[in-house]
Structures are given as structure tokens and as C-alpha cells.
Amino acid sequence: EDKVVQSPLSLVVHEGDTVTLNCSYEVTNFRSLLWYKQEKKAPTFLFMLTSSGIEKKSGRLSSILDKKELFSILNITATQTGDSAVYLCATSGTNAGKSTFGDGTTLTVKP
């Protein structure tokens, strides 16, 4: 059974801090790992990672995948209160339609 574990479960920081969110996985025939941000309701897509060692960046957010050690990290630099959300990590494997989600990391950024 595929498994995704995120850590920490929750994190409280102050504006301007840098945070690192972790996602480890066990997936049969790994295809991809995705990061989503969930603020109130609908998760929104952040990154899709398929290759090891290639950093994906979008503004203050970046992510990288290590397929040997089976984990990914999501970095957020110079955090803002608008970054407060639940960050979800998901993987897909043998069956392309079946993504496995972690329980998420709840990030709270205080002014």
C-alpha cells in the first residue's frame, strides 16, 4: 500500500521566517509527487516533481525531490501571513489515477 508522511503536522512562524516542509513516501512504481496549498476549501496546485535533484521554483516557494531517499521538501522564504494554509503532498504510482495524499502540514504565519 502506498504511503505518504508529512512533517511537521503543524508549524507556527513569524512573517519573514523561512520554513521547510517535509514529505516522505513509499510508492510502488513512482510516477510523480505533487504539492498543493489548501487555504479554506479547494487545494490549489503548486508543483509537480518527477526527477530527482531538479529544483522547481515559483516566487518565494521552491521544491525538490530525492528519489533515492524517497522524500521531497517544500521551502517558503520570507513568509507572509497569506502563506498560512495547509500544505498537502501527494504521490502517484502504478495506477496513474490513484493519488495518495499525506495528512498535510498546517502552517500559520503570524504578523
Partner 1 sequence: DGGITQSPKYLFRKEGQNVTLSCEQNLNHDAMYWYRQDPGQGLRLIYYSQIVNDFQKGDIAEGYSVSREKKESFPLTVTSAQKNPTAFYLCASSIDLEYNEQFFGPGTRLTVL
Which of the stretches 12-20, 41-49, 52-60, 69-77 binds partner 1 when contact is defined by CB under 8 A? 41-49
SS3 content of the chain, % helix, strand, coil (to 5): 5, 55, 40
Looking at beta carbons only, is 17 or 31 nearer to partner 1?
Answer: 31
Residue of 27, 34, 64, 65 interacting with partner 1 (CB under 8 A): 34
- Regarding 31 and contact with partner 1 (CB under 8 A), the answer is yes
Q: Which amino acid is at 92?
A: S
The residue to which cell 510508492 is assigned: 27
| Contact set for partner 1, span 47-106 (CB under 8 A) | 48, 88, 90, 92, 96-99, 101-104
CA–CA gap between residue 76 and residue 18 (Å, rounded): 6
| 60: Cα within 13 Å, side-chain hemisphere | 13
CB 109 within 8 A of CB 10: no
> Which amino acid type is present at position 36?
Y
The one among 7, 22, 24, 32 contacting partner 1 by CB under 8 A: 32
- What does the binding site for partner 1 look like in residue numbers (CB under 8 A)? 4, 6, 9, 31-32, 34, 41-45, 48, 88, 90, 92, 96-99, 101-104
